[in-house]
């Protein structure tokens, strides 16, 4: 027996004074309402209504129980409405997780700007500690996760937020010692600075692109910033995100390589829960980030 269902049937009978009237309000049959009330009487162990041919009236225990049931149902309805309203309002807590290298780039600035623009949303933003299983962030209590892979997983939903340009580069001091890179295949003969999660480099766009598994690794790190600094110091060739490298590229501390074969940008994806409609705070957050990246393009530089 669904206790709440029969309680709702009983409370409606108490209000209108008949099984048929309650059935009309609840969109069911009078016989089913009568059975609900009988089941409830059996559950509580006392007679709750007096049944006559023309009407239904409450017994003394029925009056008391109807007040109790009405209070319980109103609290449940109020709580349901409050939760639904919270779902539809951009407020509350928002938990976000992403790989360290993404969070240390533009995404950190974008999320900080979002927090200022939406002070009613309390942001929790964590870097690192992400599982390879795409849905684990939900089990860990996060609302949104970020990746640069186009994930195919029916347990989550995905939205592209922006493109993150990368650049192949090296310092003039390295080029002076080892020569200029003129062909992607020559990477096998150069010292390379490699991210632990990015051991295969794609050079060029479309049909002209080629994949290169880097074997001559001179410096390995889980931080693109560390790789960029190693490149500035002349340790080797690095494939790094464009924005943090922009100042070094403009100053000449780093020099772009193979400008005729630029490396493809990485897509930044937001991953969130599988519900048909995301909470308003998540929708507002994703819309804000999409606009932020559109309004804050990475400046170009002359090679």
pLDDT over 90 for what percent of the chain?
A: 44
pLDDT at 276: 62
Decide if pLDDT at 266 tops 90.
no
Q: Higher model confidence: residue 118 or residue 2? A: 118
Non-local (6+) Cβ contacts of 155 within 8 A are 134, 135, 274
Decide if pLDDT at 23 tops 80.
yes
User: Which letter does DSSP use for residue 187 in this model?
Assistant: G
Kindly indicate the confidence band of residue 85, based on its pLDDT and cuts at 50, 70 and 90: low
Q: Are 23 and 30 in contact (CB under 8 A)?
A: yes
C-alpha distances in angstroms, 87 versus 73, 92, 93, 137, 279? 21, 9, 11, 20, 5
Decide if pLDDT at 51 tops 90.
no
User: Distance (Å, rounded) from C-alpha 168 to C-alpha 130?
Assistant: 27
Kindly indicate the confidence band of residue 88, based on its pLDDT and cuts at 50, 70 and 90: low
Q: Which of 12-16, 70-74, 126-130, 132-136 is the least confident region?
A: 132-136
pLDDT at 131: 60
Averaged pLDDT for residues 263-291: 87
CATH numbers and ranges of domains, the chain = 3-87 (1.10.10.10), 92-162+266-295 (3.40.190.10), 166-256 (3.40.190.290)
Decide if pLDDT at 80 tops 90.
no
Q: Are 303 and 242 in contact (CB under 8 A)?
A: no
Averaged pLDDT for residues 252-271: 91
- pTM of structure: 0.66
Reduced to 3 states, what is the DSSP secondary structure of residue 132?
Answer: coil
C-alpha distances in angstroms, 247 versus 83, 103, 204, 215? 47, 19, 23, 29
Q: Higher model confidence: residue 250 or residue 103? A: 250
Kindly indicate the confidence band of residue 244, based on its pLDDT and cuts at 50, 70 and 90: confident
pLDDT at 75: 87
The sign of the dihedral angle between the CA atoms of 174, 179, 180, 182 is: negative
Instruction: Report the mean per-residue pLDDT for the chain.
Output: 87
pLDDT at 179: 93
Q: Comparing C-alpha atoms, which of 255, 267, 244 is closest to residue 302? A: 255
Highest mean pLDDT among 58-62, 142-146, 202-206, 216-220: 216-220
Kindly indicate the confidence band of residue 235, based on its pLDDT and cuts at 50, 70 and 90: very high
pLDDT at 135: 63
What is the H or E stretch that residue 57 is in? Answer: strand 56-58
Decide if pLDDT at 78 tops 80.
no
Cβ burial of 35 (10 Å; 0-12, 13-18, 19+) is: middle
Kindly indicate the confidence band of residue 1, based on its pLDDT and cuts at 50, 70 and 90: low
pLDDT at 64: 93
């Amino acid at each position: 027996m669904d206790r709440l269902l029969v309680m709702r049937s009983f409370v409606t009978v108490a209000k209108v004074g008949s099984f048929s009237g309650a059935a009309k309000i609840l969109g069911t049959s009078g016989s089913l309402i009568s059975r609900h009330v009988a089941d409830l009487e059996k559950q509580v162990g006392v007679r709750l209504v007096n049944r006559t041919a023309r009407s239904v009236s409450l017994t003394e225990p029925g009056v008391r129980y109807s007040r109790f049931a009405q209070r319980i149902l109103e609290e449940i309805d109020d709580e349901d409405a409050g939760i639904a309203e919270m779902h539809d309002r951009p407020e509350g807590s928002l938990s976000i997780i992403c790989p360290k290298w993404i969070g240390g780039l533009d995404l950190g600035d974008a999320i900080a700007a979002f927090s200022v623009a939406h002070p009613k949303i309390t942001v929790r933003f964590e870097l690192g500690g992400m599982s390879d299983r795409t849905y684990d962030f939900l089990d860990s209590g996060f609302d949104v996760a970020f990746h640069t892979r186009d994930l195919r997983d029916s347990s989550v939903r995905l939205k592209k937020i922006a493109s993150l340009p990368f650049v192949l580069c090296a310092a003039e001091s390295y080029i002076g010692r080892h020569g200029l890179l003129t062909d992607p295949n020559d990477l096998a003969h150069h010292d390379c600075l490699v991210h632990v999660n990015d051991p295969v480099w794609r050079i060029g766009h479309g049909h002209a692109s080629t994949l290169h598994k880097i074997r001559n690794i001179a410096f390995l790190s889980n931080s693109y910033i560390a790789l960029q600094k190693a490149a500035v110091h002349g340790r080797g060739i690095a494939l790094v995100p464009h924005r943090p490298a922009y100042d070094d590229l403009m100053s000449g501390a780093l020099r772009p390589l193979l400008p005729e074969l630029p490396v493809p940008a990485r897509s930044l994806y937001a991953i969130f829960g599988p519900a048909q409609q995301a909470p308003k705070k998540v929708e507002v957050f994703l819309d804000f980030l999409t606009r932020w990246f559109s309004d804050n393009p990475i400046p170009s530089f002359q090679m």
